[in-house]
Amino acid sequence: LLKTKVHSTEFLTHGNPTVEVDLFTAEVLFRAAVLSGVSTGIYEALELEDNKTCYMGKGVSKALEHVNKTIVPALVSKKLNITEQEKIDKLMIQMDGTENKSKFGANAVLGVSLAMCKAGAVEKGVPLYCHIADLAATSAANSEVMLSVSVLNVINGGSHAGNKLAMQEFMILPVGAMNFREAVCTGDEGVFAPNILENEEGLELLKISIGKAGYIDKVVIGMDILASKFCRFGKYDLDFKSSDDSSRYISPDKLADLHKSFINDYPVVSIENPFDQNDWGAWQKFTTIAGIQVVGDNLTVTNLKRIAKATDKKSCNCLLLKVNQIGSVTESLQSCKLAQANGWGVMESHHSGETEHTFIACLVVGMCTGQTKMGRLAKYNQLLRIEEELGSNAKFAGRNSETPG
User: CB neighbours (10 Å) of residue 90?
Assistant: 14
pLDDT of residue 375: 76
pLDDT of residue 66: 96
Question: How buried is 313 (Cβ within 10 angstroms: 0-12 exposed, 13-18 middle, 19+ buried)?
Answer: middle
Q: What is the CATH number of the domain that holds 57?
A: 3.30.390.10
Region 29-41: mean pLDDT is: 81
Task: Tell me the per-residue pLDDT of 118-161, one tens digit each, with 9 for 90 and over.
Answer: 999 999 999 999 999 999 987 666 667 889 999 999 998 877 67
Q: Are residues 290 and 247 in the same domain?
A: yes
**Looking at the predicted structure, is the pLDDT value of residue 37 above 70?**
no
Listed residues 125, 155, 172: the one ending a domain: 125
Query: Do the domain assignments include residue 301?
Result: yes
Query: Do the domain assignments include residue 206?
Result: yes
Region 318-323: mean pLDDT is: 96
Euclidean distance between CA atoms 99 and 290, whole angstroms: 33
Task: Tell me the per-residue pLDDT of 227-241, one tens digit each, with 9 for 90 and over.
Answer: 999 999 999 999 988
**Looking at the predicted structure, is the pLDDT value of residue 38 above 90?**
no
**Looking at the predicted structure, is the pLDDT value of residue 106 above 90?**
yes
392 is in an annotated binding site: no
Q: Per-residue b/e over 124-151, b at no fewer than 16 CB within 10 Å?
A: eeebbbbbbbbbbebebbeeebbbbbbb
pLDDT of residue 69: 95
Q: Are residues 108 and 185 in the same domain?
A: no
Higher pLDDT, 51 or 348: 348
pLDDT of residue 53: 67
224 is in an annotated binding site: yes
pLDDT of residue 156: 87
Listed residues 72, 100, 125: the one ending a domain: 125
Q: Are residues 253 and 311 in the same domain?
A: yes
**Looking at the predicted structure, is the pLDDT value of residue 404 above 70?**
no
Query: Do the domain assignments include residue 150?
Result: yes
Q: Domain containing 220: what range?
A: 139-400
14 is in an annotated binding site: no
| Cα diameter, the chain | 65
pLDDT of residue 186: 76
160 is in an annotated binding site: yes
Euclidean distance between CA atoms 288 and 294, whole angstroms: 10
Task: Tell me the per-residue pLDDT of 159-212, one tens digit each, with 9 for 90 and over.
Answer: 767 788 889 999 999 999 999 999 988 754 557 888 887 899 999 999 999 999
**Four-residue CA torsion sign, 204, 209, 215, 220:** negative
Q: Are residues 337 and 383 in the same domain?
A: yes
Query: Do the domain assignments include residue 21?
Result: yes
Q: In whole numbers, what is the pLDDT of the chain averaged over residues?
A: 91
SS3 category, 312: helix
Q: Are residues 146 and 118 in the same domain?
A: no
DSSP state of 258: H
**Looking at the predicted structure, is the pLDDT value of residue 97 above 90?**
yes
pLDDT of residue 392: 87
Q: Which of 189, 331, 354, 402 is catalytic?
A: 189
Higher pLDDT, 395 or 140: 395
Q: Are residues 121 and 160 in the same domain?
A: no
Q: Are residues 146 and 223 in the same domain?
A: yes
Q: Are residues 62 and 104 in the same domain?
A: yes
Q: Are residues 115 and 143 in the same domain?
A: no
**Looking at the predicted structure, is the pLDDT value of residue 17 above 90?**
no
373 is in an annotated binding site: yes
Q: What is the CA radius of gyration of the chain?
A: 21
349 is in an annotated binding site: yes
Say if CB 345 and CB 320 are below 8 A apart: no
Q: Which residues pair with 20 in a beta bridge?
A: 9, 33
Task: Tell me the per-residue pLDDT of 375-385, one tens digit each, with 9 for 90 and over.
Answer: 778 899 999 99
Q: Give the containing element (helix H, strand E) for 335.
A: helix 329-341
Say if CB 366 and CB 133 are below 8 A apart: yes
Query: Do the domain assignments include residue 132?
Result: no
Euclidean distance between CA atoms 200 and 196, whole angstroms: 10
- Concerning whether 402 is annotated as a catalytic residue, the answer is no
Q: What is the CATH number of the domain that holds 310?
A: 3.20.20.120
pLDDT of residue 193: 80
pLDDT of residue 355: 78
Q: Are residues 255 and 389 in the same domain?
A: yes
Query: Do the domain assignments include residue 228?
Result: yes
- Concerning whether 229 is annotated as a catalytic residue, the answer is no
pLDDT of residue 188: 47
Bridging pattern class, strands 29-33 and 16-24:
antiparallel
Q: Name the percent of the chain in helix, strand, coil, to the closest 5.
A: 45, 20, 40
Query: Do the domain assignments include residue 170?
Result: yes
Task: Tell me the per-residue pLDDT of 292-316, one tens digit each, with 9 for 90 and over.
Answer: 999 999 999 999 999 999 999 999 9
Q: Which of 218, 229, 322, 395 is catalytic?
A: 322
Poorest-pLDDT segment among 4-18, 210-224, 246-260, 290-304: 4-18
Region 264-278: mean pLDDT is: 97
Q: What is the DSSP string of 198-245?
A: -HHHHHHHHHHHHHHTT-TTT-EEEEE--GGGGEETTEE-TTTTSS--
pLDDT of residue 354: 72
Q: What is the DSSP string of 2-61?
A: TT-EEEEEEEEETTEEEEEEEEE-SS-EEEEE--B-SS--TTSPP-----STGGGGT--H
Bridging pattern class, strands 345-349 and 370-373:
parallel
| Closest to 59 (Cα-Cα) out of 14, 26, 11 | 11
Say if CB 97 and CB 103 are below 8 A apart: yes
